[in-house]
Structure 1
Amino acid sequence: MTKQRRSFSPEFKRNAAALVLDQSYSHVDACRSVGVAESVMRRWVDQLQLERRGVTPQSKALTPEQQRIQELEARIDRLEREKAILKKATALLMSEGIERTR
């Protein structure tokens, strides 16, 4: 039987990491309080520290500001892909139009 992997919301992770950063809990005490492994807590704390400094993480962001930045970056990527497709389609249609007029 395999163990079910737990998932936590960004808000839960942010609040758990804030115990260490803002309320001076030790990593061990914070882990006991929220029921996660110490390695998980250290990863959340490190990520929250980076996000507070303005670094956008590769994984799902914890802070609302970084979540918004990730959403906007994803939207920009999608729009750039759509723009590239439209440019190719326009070039293709223009080349077909030129061939028809010959």
Structure 2
Amino acid sequence: MGSKYTKRYTEEFKRDAIALVDSSGKTVTAVARELGINSDSLRGWYRQAKADRSGSQGGELTSAEREEGRRT
């Protein structure tokens, strides 16, 4: 069973982790291991950043579209 405490990461940390994946040529799993974070978390952040950069064209919702969906 998972922890009852959810670790929260700052937006700056997430941006830096995503940039490290982009610039290092390492896999998401390798970068996550180096940073001591869950690879699924980093993979989700990476996919969301990719969707935000490309708009809705990639099939993923952008952060703005997700936020709009939450408000309605």
The percent of aligned pairs where both chains have the same amino acid is: 29
Q: How does 1:11-22 map to 2 (within 5 A)?
A: 11-22=12-23
CA contact (8 A) 1:18 1:45 kept: no
Q: Does 1:50 align with 2:59?
A: no
Cα deviation code 1:19-53 (max 9, x no counterpart): 11232121121111211111111101101111222
Superimposed CA distance per residue, residues 70-91 of structure 1 (whole angstroms, 9 cap, x where no aligned partner): 9xxxxxxxxxxxxxxxxxxxxx
Larger radius of gyration: 1
Is 1:28 the counterpart of 2:61? The answer is: no
| Map of 2:59 onto structure 1 | none
Q: Which runs of 4+ in 1 moved over 3 A?
A: none
Helix, strand or coil for the counterpart of 1:4? coil
Deviation at 1:11, TM superposition (A): 1.0
Describe the superposition over 1:56-100 as per-residue Cα deviations: whole angstroms up to 9, x where unpaired: 4126xxxxxxxxxx9xxxxxxxxxxxxxxxxxxxxxxxxxxxxxx
TM-score by length of 2: 0.65
CA distance in 2, matches of 1:52, 1:28: 21
> Unaligned regions of 5+ residues in structure 1, if any?
60-69, 71-102
Distance 1:33 1:3 in 2: 24
